[in-house]
Structure 1
Amino acid sequence: LLYLEKARASGADLRNHSAVDFIIVDGRRARGVDFHDVLTGRRSTASGRLVINAAGPWVDAVLDATGRTLRRRIGGTRGSHLVVDLNGRGPKHAVLASAKSDARPMFVTPWLDHHIIGTTDFRDDEDPSDVRAAGWEIDYLIAEAARVLPGLGIEHRNVVYAYSGVRPLARAGDGVFEGAISRRSVIVDHSAEGVERLVSVVGGKLTTAAELGRKVAAAVSQQIGRPRARGIAALPETPTSPAVFLPPETQEHLRSVYGPRAPEVAAYAANDSSLAETISAQHPDIGAQVAYAVQHEGARTVADVLLRRTVVGLTKDMGRAAAAPTAAIMAGLLGWTVEARDQAVRDYFAELHRKFVIIDPEIGIPASERLPDEDLRSAEGAGG
């Protein structure tokens, strides 16, 4: 998010919840994109001297928007992980081992009040938007973690939820073992395929995003004939305290989550004391974080705030208790009706069930298989 904020400060126009409909190609040259806001349906056009396709596992889907037949570039592999509650036991530091069944690397690492067990690695050609952990992956990770840490008795009942993602790796041959597929990034110039001024970014990892950004900037500078950037501005240092009027635990929480932006978040609570209150008894997050997410980070849905701007939705209760208070704050900022506010809560629970495998702690099976509408029914009156 800091990278995005720096881009916006430098003049970038950021659009959240926007989907590309067409890449505008005039003759052999890409000129821009037609896109629409998936929440409002509003259609727009952006023009430029060059189009960069940095859509991660969706790179090929965006290339299809050229209307041309271009080479498939993505050969993604799926990685699934478990978030487990080990009742305060578990390792204090990350444990790395090789799985006994297939020799793949795996790990168990502390995360918030829980532990993460990962990961699987196999080819997946499904829509990355719909990827979910399969039952056999959950079984595999539990069995291997129980073998590595036999004294903990890890079983299905310890699993809070499972999540998955598709690694946007470069396409490899069918006979290549998943673990051997290169994790290196590739910058593809599509001129040889008949579309000039279109560049795709394939591969790359979050930990190397800054270096990849430098490489993309250099490639773009060369294509459009502008001087190459010498570097990127350093990120600001973390302040000592975001706001003395907040409780010490809240100050520490904001500092740990937002770093140098913590005072900006706290300012919302200074102007409106109700935003200094936590959004649920289960979390240290306060209303000011919701306001900041909406007005500074482009959040437009409850899931944006709880899953993608904070980690509230990734904790044990998955943000269930915070969903309605979050929607109420967003409604005031975005002008939602009561109906829209309540629908936002229902949409959040629907997204949880769509993207995560949520385990029922009483019986150790996916809750979505036993009672798929339980959260949705309880959300009917959640908006108040």
Structure 2
Amino acid sequence: MRFSSLERGEILRHMGRQTHDLLVIGGGITGAGIALDAASRGMTVALVEMQDFAAGTSSRSTKLVHGGLRYLKQGEVKMVADVGKERAIVYENGPHVTTPAWMLLPMYADGSLGKRRTALGLRLYDFLAGVNRNERRVMLSREEALAKEPLLKKEGLQGAGCYVEYRTDDARLTIEVIKKAVQFGAKAVNYARADGFIYDGRQVAGVHVTDQLNGNNVVIRARKVVNAAGPWVDVLREKDQSKQRKFLCLTKGVHLVFDQSVFPLRQAIYFDNSDGRMLFAIPREGKTYVGTTDTTYTDDPANPHVTNEDRVYILQAVSYIFPTLSLTDGDVESSWAGVRPLIEEAGKTPSDISRKDEIWESPSGLIAIAGGKLTGYRKMAEMIVDLIADKFKKERYKLFSPSMTTSIPISGGDIGGYEKFEHFVQEKTEEGIKLELRTEHAAFLARRYGSNVSSLFSIINETRQQKGWNESDLLTFAQLKYSIDHEMAVTPADFFIRRTGAMYFHRRWMEKYEDKVKEWMGEK
């Protein structure tokens, strides 16, 4: 069966016909990584997600695969080392969803980042994260910093550190990992809600699942069950009657998006706000986005909203570091809010709570994981599946190989590593030109879809012959059809938010094609 929304009902029914080695609850980046690690070792894997894949935290991040430089300030040296090294693995295995970008860290006389401390911190960061020689930090003078970004506040500016982070499309990263798990035999379905657990004696043995598109119920059985539900981890622990001792603390992060016409940022900036918090301002695809906030959140994690207070905070932060701008609420083109599932630590503010991941096992055998960062998803998955493989070994069920995901390209990443990516894009661009695509359109598809771009080219070629559409319609339809047939997109929101990011960065294109996409999806 294809990983298609047209076959999701049959995939879900098929899940109910067998007992799997592992059932994963949660289709964010953590659940996706666990499914890939387990399936690549030969385990039979089922994954269910109550919304769309990546619809929660995993599509609402700062969209960086980064090493967590700020955690050095909190003494989290091991986390910086581990996550920093994971950046390189994510980049190597998925260069089409990961892009190196130089980040400017300005230093001010009244800020918390003095010259000596910044230089030492970046040097330690390079060492801990094993940064490539050509991506190691550079210290800039005041004049050099302003040359890179003239919008920076000049008063008190002493210079800047410059280091490399990695931009990503967080939702596409998640979906590409799930697609790779499916290639290894995993079965994954979105809009499938885990409503309760089933038990053999006192041991968890599966879940009752409701198909949220038609109300059908399916029982999915598994030898091991992992709760990777992000902000809903404690909800499932309550259903298992195992919510004891440690609990989640949900915090909300908000980002605002501006058009480059009103916020012409040249250079990604990581800056020290007036209240001591660190924020990012990042140029991307003709836009600039800024974030993030960090506030305790107690409402519905499925629908976090950007409040007026959130907007005011970020607008004031922008005004503080870029004083020549006069941005207002009316300049905000789009925004997103996400919820972080952190481990509660008494007496700590949301910003000070550790981002470390943690694993719990209940008396029923339900394994839960929470905390962690997008960048560290692969290592978190490896830890969980190592635990499961060890349990199977002790139970004399089966022996499974060690994790191989350090060297497994995710879906779309089969191009021979990041060093070959630009050559790959050039080759595929030339292939697209032969199909009468404009150069920029062919290159765009190659960069977004990586080694899967040939499927897009085939759809374009077939559709042109059948319909005779203009190129803009062809590009849109090809991406939509691919997202339905190969990425289980079910709704227009799945397509515009999590398969393309258009809701945030291409609003005009989305508004132009919103009705046509609804029409085309209706025809499917």
1:73 aligns with 2:247: yes
Deviation at 1:320, TM superposition (A): 2.2
Deviation at 1:276, TM superposition (A): 6.9
* Structure 2: unaligned runs, 5 residues or longer: 1-174, 394-398, 416-420
Query: How many Å separate the matches in 2 of 1:31 and 1:45?
Result: 10
SS of the equivalent of 1:52 reads strand
Query: How many Å separate the matches in 2 of 1:328 and 1:153?
Result: 41
Match of 1:40 among 214, 224, 249: 214
Query: How many Å separate the matches in 2 of 1:247 and 1:318?
Result: 17
1:219 aligns with 2:349: no
1:22 aligns with 2:213: no
Deviation at 1:247, TM superposition (A): 2.4
For the Cα contact (< 8 Å) 2:234–2:243, is it kept in 1?
no
Residue of structure 2 equivalent to 1:304: 494
Query: How many Å separate the matches in 2 of 1:278 and 1:324?
Result: 18
Query: How many Å separate the matches in 1 of 2:191 and 2:469?
Result: 28
1:8 aligns with 2:182: yes
Match of 1:165 among 338, 347, 359: 338
Q: Give the count of matched residue pairs.
A: 324
Query: How many Å separate the matches in 2 of 1:95 and 1:113?
Result: 16
Query: How many Å separate the matches in 1 of 2:340 and 2:472?
Result: 33
- 1:8-44 Cα offsets, whole Å, 9 max, x none, are 1111111111111112123321101111111121211
64-73 vs 204-213, which deviates more? 64-73
User: Compared with structure 1, are the counterparts of its residues 132 and 15 closer, same or farther at alpha carbon in structure 2 (3 Å cutoff)?
Assistant: same
Query: How many Å separate the matches in 1 of 2:236 and 2:484?
Result: 27
- 1:159-200 Cα offsets, whole Å, 9 max, x none, are 112210001111221x2122211111112222xxx212x111
Residue of structure 2 equivalent to 1:291: 481
For the Cα contact (< 8 Å) 2:280–2:292, is it kept in 1?
yes
Query: How many Å separate the matches in 2 of 1:15 and 1:122?
Result: 32
Query: How many Å separate the matches in 2 of 1:146 and 1:312?
Result: 27
Query: How many Å separate the matches in 1 of 2:373 and 2:201?
Result: 34
1:148 aligns with 2:321: yes
Deviation at 1:305, TM superposition (A): 0.7
271-280 vs 180-189, which deviates more? 271-280
Residue of structure 2 equivalent to 1:371: none
- 1:244-291 Cα offsets, whole Å, 9 max, x none, are 3032222111112111211122211122214975566xxx95211100
For the Cα contact (< 8 Å) 2:460–2:475, is it kept in 1?
no
**Amino acid aligned to 2:183:** A
* Structure 1: unaligned runs, 5 residues or longer: 334-384
- 1:334-374 Cα offsets, whole Å, 9 max, x none, are xxxxxxxxxxxxxxxxxxxxxxxxxxxxxxxxxxxxxxxxx
**Amino acid aligned to 2:240:** T
Residue of structure 1 equivalent to 2:303: 130
1:82 aligns with 2:256: yes
1:251 aligns with 2:424: no
Residue of structure 2 equivalent to 1:54: 228
Query: How many Å separate the matches in 1 of 2:216 and 2:509?
Result: 31
Query: How many Å separate the matches in 1 of 2:492 and 2:510?
Result: 10
Match of 1:178 among 335, 345, 350: 350
Query: How many Å separate the matches in 1 of 2:263 and 2:337?
Result: 25
For the Cα contact (< 8 Å) 2:226–2:368, is it kept in 1?
yes
Match of 1:319 among 491, 497, 510: 510
For the Cα contact (< 8 Å) 2:260–2:286, is it kept in 1?
no
**Amino acid aligned to 1:65:** K
Query: How many Å separate the matches in 1 of 2:298 and 2:262?
Result: 38
For the Cα contact (< 8 Å) 1:106–1:119, is it kept in 2?
yes
User: Compared with structure 1, are the counterparts of its residues 108 and 223 closer, same or farther at alpha carbon in structure 2 (3 Å cutoff)?
Assistant: same
Pick 1 or 2: higher relative contact order, CA cutoff 8 A, min separation 6.
Answer: 2
Query: How many Å separate the matches in 2 of 1:123 and 1:180?
Result: 12
- 1:196-248 Cα offsets, whole Å, 9 max, x none, are 2x111111222221222212221111122233424224211154306330322
Deviation at 1:133, TM superposition (A): 1.1
Deviation at 1:72, TM superposition (A): 5.5
Query: How many Å separate the matches in 2 of 1:270 and 1:112?
Result: 27
- 1:80-133 Cα offsets, whole Å, 9 max, x none, are 110012416522111121221x21111211021111111110111222112111
Residue of structure 1 equivalent to 2:271: 97
**Amino acid aligned to 1:178:** P
For the Cα contact (< 8 Å) 1:84–1:115, is it kept in 2?
yes
RMSD (Å), alpha carbons:
2.1
Report the identity percentage.
25
Query: How many Å separate the matches in 2 of 1:144 and 1:169?
Result: 24
Deviation at 1:153, TM superposition (A): 1.9
SS of the equivalent of 1:150 reads coil
SS of the equivalent of 1:152 reads coil
User: Compared with structure 1, are the counterparts of its residues 277 and 286 closer, same or farther at alpha carbon in structure 2 (3 Å cutoff)?
Assistant: farther
**TM-score (structure 1 length as normaliser):** 0.79
**Amino acid aligned to 1:58:** W
User: Compared with structure 1, are the counterparts of its residues 89 and 177 closer, same or farther at alpha carbon in structure 2 (3 Å cutoff)?
Assistant: closer
SS of the equivalent of 1:14 reads strand
**Amino acid aligned to 2:191:** H
User: Compared with structure 1, are the counterparts of its residues 265 and 76 closer, same or farther at alpha carbon in structure 2 (3 Å cutoff)?
Assistant: same
SS of the equivalent of 1:164 reads strand
User: Compared with structure 1, are the counterparts of its residues 285 and 176 closer, same or farther at alpha carbon in structure 2 (3 Å cutoff)?
Assistant: farther
**Amino acid aligned to 2:348:** V
Match of 2:457 among 246, 266, 269: 266
SS of the equivalent of 1:178 reads coil
For the Cα contact (< 8 Å) 1:90–1:152, is it kept in 2?
no
Query: How many Å separate the matches in 2 of 1:209 and 1:56?
Result: 12
Deviation at 1:70, TM superposition (A): 4.4
Residue of structure 1 equivalent to 2:520: 329
